[in-house]
Amino acid sequence: MQISTRTSNDIHIVAMTGSLDSNTSPEAQKSLYAVVAGAKKVVLDFSQLDYISSAGLRVLLGAAKQLRASGGTFGMFGLNQSVREVFEISGFSTILSVYQSEAEALGAM
């Protein structure tokens, strides 16, 4: 898994490449929580994310809770079909804000 971060205005965009699973979730959690700790608006770019497991979903939920507790907003975009299915089956698509494109996600922040 590769994780990169960039900023657009005051929005932190975290791009994840590869798989977010039990093997990669500790690294992803560390990186994502570090961004969330210093941000008010975070958008995840999943356009290069191939797979997400329940361990990855837990990382996302923890980051979203941490950000919302400090009054921030959290969203994601670029989910491929298999990642979108995991979100829909798990109910995470109703818990977390999912957008079709980067422009839509940034506009909603």
- What Cα–Cα distance (Å) separates residue 32 from each residue in 14, 25, 38, 51, 88? 8, 10, 10, 17, 22
pTM: 0.92
CATH architecture of 2-102: 2-Layer Sandwich (3.30)
Enumerate residue ranges in the chain where pLDDT < 70: none
| pLDDT value of residue 12 | 97
Give the pLDDT of residue 38: 84
Query: How far, in whole angstroms, is CA 22 from its chain's centroid?
Result: 16
Helices assigned H by DSSP within 12-53: 25-37
| pLDDT digit string, tens, across residues 40-69 | 999 999 999 999 999 999 999 999 999 999
